[in-house]
Amino acid sequence: MKRDNKSFDSKNESLKKSRHGIKNYFKKKAGPPNFILSVFVTTLKMFLVLFILLGFAAFGAFLGIAKGYLDATPTLDLERIENQSEASFIYDRYGNLITPYYGLENRVWASLDEIPKMLQDAVIAVEDVRFYSHSGIDFKRLVGAIINNLRNESIQGASTITQQLIKNTLLTPERSYKRKIQEAYLAIQLEQKYTKEQILEAYLNTSYFGSGNYGVKAAAQDYFGKELKDLTLRECAVLAGILRNPYYYDPRKNLYDPTRKPEITYNRTNLVLRLMYENGFITKEQYEEAKLDPTKSPEEQGFYVIETSNRNSLYPMPYFVEYVILDVRDRLMEHFGWTGDEGRQKAMKLIQEGGLKIYTTVDPEIQKAVEEAVYNYKNLPPLANAKDKVIKDNQGNEIQQPQAAAVVIDHTTGEIRAIVGGRTPPQGRFWTNRVMQPLAVGSAIKPLSVYGPFIEAGYPGGIILEDVPVPIKGLEKQWDGRGYPLNYDRKFSGLVDVRKAIQNSINVAAARIVQERVGPDYSAEKLLELGITSPHYVNEKLVTNLALGQNGINMVEMAAAYAAIANKGIYQTPVSFTKVLDKNGNEILNKDNFQIKRVVFKESTAFILTDWMETVVNSGTGSRARFSKPMHIAGKTGTLNDWKGVYFAGFTPYYTATVWIGHDLWKPLKNGVQGGHYAAPLWKAVMEPIHKNLQNRPFYDKPPEGVVRLTVCGISGKLPNGTLCDDHLVNEWFPVEAVPKEKCDVHKEVEICQYSGKLASPYCPRENVVKKSVVVLPENSLLRQLSEEELQKYLPGAFKDAVDFAMLDYNKPEDRQYFCPLHTQEWYNSQQLQESLYKQAQELINSVRAKMSDPKYKDRLSNEARTSLEKAIEALLHSFNQATIKPPKEGEPPLTQLPPFDPKPIQQNMDYLTELSRIIFESIDKEIENETPTLNQSSSFFDNNRNRHNNKRGASD
């Protein structure tokens, strides 16, 4: 406004005159001034001066403090804004999303183009309506906030979206003037670095929306189960309304928590919608349609919020997902050179916050089938003690026992297709996953550490193995001092071929191969090449582990080792993911960079081993693993020492799998449980469904080079010697370098007594002497350490010493041991007596039968007399039969003794028949002569004599 100087001067002059008049009117009195008035005026002047000085001091202090705040302001670090924690994503083998994975912050970054315009407008309307017009600070809102703060003790903000972004990413959330000054200062700088669109995008992705959700994309999924593009106007308003106070305006809590009210969300949403309408973002019709009515339920208005946050629930396929997370963690540590606990923390932070894309190897259909099989498996072995059925973990959760676990791997690629680490779904994150624990495998170790190395080494010592109770050299103090392990049935088989040994899971044979044939070092070396890392096996090299699998091995390692056999002897590191990308799409990890491939067994070895393991399933301990429809299956059972678990590992032409059942605390199962009865059926339950639509095909279309089929002697393992080995022939596959070149030298042709199985003595019945091939043990045979009784039990008819049968003489006492001990001269003399008695008895029987047929007596014999004579004849013949011992049949053990010949029963029966016939026929003769004795009298006479004779014989008939 323009000032009127003339008027102003006039008024000033008038005022001077007025003041001069007043001065004259109040003319001072003569004398001293008023003291009180003087003090008051002086004091007032001093306070005025002090107030002015304090004002200047306060302003200076404010400037100093503000300068201090600004000096303490952190540098505008754009990386901290751009590099926010983002959830990683885990995909299946087909590239389909399984789950996001994050730590404390569930954030999925969305570009501004992906965020609906109405959601952007909703946030701007309620948080910063002049966002696009200010330069980081809204001075109009700032003045209003200052006035309000002067009126109230609390500090209220006028933060713009830019300032809030600064607060969320660079500063602390404290409410103070210091933070406000720093926030404003940095906001101005940020506006010079970023466009409005970049700032808005960063804000919408970094802001907290409650329930652990950071950013609009995570919030939309968590609250509404929707992608951003599918949000309604009302849902956009709900999300925008949360920002002011995420806890208070959390829609899930307000709708489902009984201590909260839906009206909180209703009113806040309606406020956002009204502000959008008032600022021209939406029309009145849109506003009215989207408003929430506090008098109606959410359902009536079509307003739905997911009741349970995904954040609080486990992801699908938890056992596999958590396995792959730890696998990626370890690979990241290797890739970046991170070590120790700090390295693990860095790797986990990158997985949880780095926005990685992890492409796994899991097949969802296979994983689902395996989960259903393990979760629903009912054929669980009983526990030795019923009190061990339930245990509690550190959190007090009850865990049923026994437990079970399974792994399925594609052996052509080494990619893991399914993992189930327990009988029930996990009850929390990183629940006990048993496939990652060392579990004892029992005899399932044998194909890897025993029979595979045995074939690869070229059958050292031949294919015939000793399953006898003889201490194993170098292990005399093992197994309770016996020096040899017990077989699962506590029996021994003598000499067995290698196929029988693996088919029937013979422990003694396996231990002998490791200790005496291939050596523990070579066995452990092959395990290490097969990816087995347990120090109990590869470092300690104990035969109890290498041959019997008593210590723990990771189930994935076992599956990968078996997969090497199925993959024609080529081992591949088991992988749970194929690649990992960072949030910008750059590849960090690729399985091709860390998956190891190496030849462990020749293809010929894998072929033979597979053929043997097919026998295990077709007719051995693993027969319960067979599918209901034809499918080639090779595998091996495992039963742990003291029945502390059961195991089965095997493969088809398509997949390899391992399964385990046992107690988490290694409590024993019931005595006698076997892997074939419990683990093999579980393996079938796991594998059969995933082969439902797969065609049966052989493991090999034809035998590979380097392997031949050959028939050898089943005792010596050498080539057959004519027909001498015919009773012990074995037809087997051989590596070409292991084909035997020598003929059998343990079979000899001799005359053998069928009764004793030994050389025929001069007294052996000629009709029971046969020419036969017998076994003469070589000098280095372990069976020579057996007693004679044990030898004949395990190898009937075998001779311990190598002798020249042609030079043996029965009459020499030193040679008598080789001849039949049953048919001696005493036996021969008794046989001569028996033959003499037989002739006498036959003459007696013929005489009696002749009289019975004589017309003179025939019609006069009573039925009772005739029956008595027949019974007496039958008793006499029976006494001869009792004295006759037949030789054992084929396959039966030889006789060790013959009952001594006792002529008394025969003689007594002859005497009885002689006396009985005399009485009967003399009675008839008298009857004929006198015709006076009646038939009844003759019978009565016979009865009396018969009773008297019976009393003499006693029990001899």
Cβ contact 768:755 at 8 Å:
yes
Token pair belonging to 528: 């290490």
With 0-12 / 13-18 / 19 or more C-beta atoms within 10 angstroms meaning exposed / middle / buried, residue 420 is buried
Residue with tokens 């077709």: 618
Which residue, among 141, 195, 144, 136, has the nearest Cα to 161 in the 3D structure? 136
* Dihedral in degrees, nearest 10, Cα atoms 12, 13, 18, 20: 120
Measuring CA to CA, how many Å separate 154 from each of 148, 149, 176, 178?
9, 6, 10, 15
- b/e code 132-169 from CB counts within 10 Å (16+ = b): eebebbbeebbeebeeebeeeeeeebbbbbbbbbbbbb
Q: Find the DSSP H helices in 72-194.
A: 78-82, 117-127, 139-151, 161-169, 177-193
Question: Of these residues, 159, 443, 576, 604, which one is catalytic?
Answer: 443
Q: Can you say whether residue 568 is alpha, beta or left, with left for phi > 0 and alpha for psi between -120 and 50 degrees?
A: left
Q: How many CA atoms lie within 13 A of 442 on its CB side?
A: 29
Token pair belonging to 349: 């932070």
Dist. CA 470–CA 937, nearest whole Å? 76
Dist. CA 856–CA 927, nearest whole Å? 11
Cβ contact 408:687 at 8 Å:
yes
Question: Of these residues, 86, 105, 127, 415, which one is catalytic?
Answer: 127
Kindly report the backbone phi and psi dihedral angles of residue 249, in degrees, each rounded to the nearest multiple of 5, phi listed first.
-100, 10
127 counts as catalytic: yes
Kindly report the backbone phi and psi dihedral angles of residue 741, in degrees, each rounded to the nearest multiple of 5, phi listed first.
-115, -20
- DSSP-derived 3-state class of residue 104: coil
> In the chain, count of helices (H) and strands (E)?
33, 24
Residue 21 CB partners (closer than 8 Å, separation 6+): none
First to last CA, the chain: 158
Dist. CA 571–CA 561, nearest whole Å? 7
Crossing angle of the two packed helices 233-242 and 262-278, in degrees rounded to 10: 110
443 counts as catalytic: yes
DSSP state at residue 63? H
- DSSP-derived 3-state class of residue 622: coil
Token pair belonging to 316: 């699908």
Catalytic residues: 127, 443
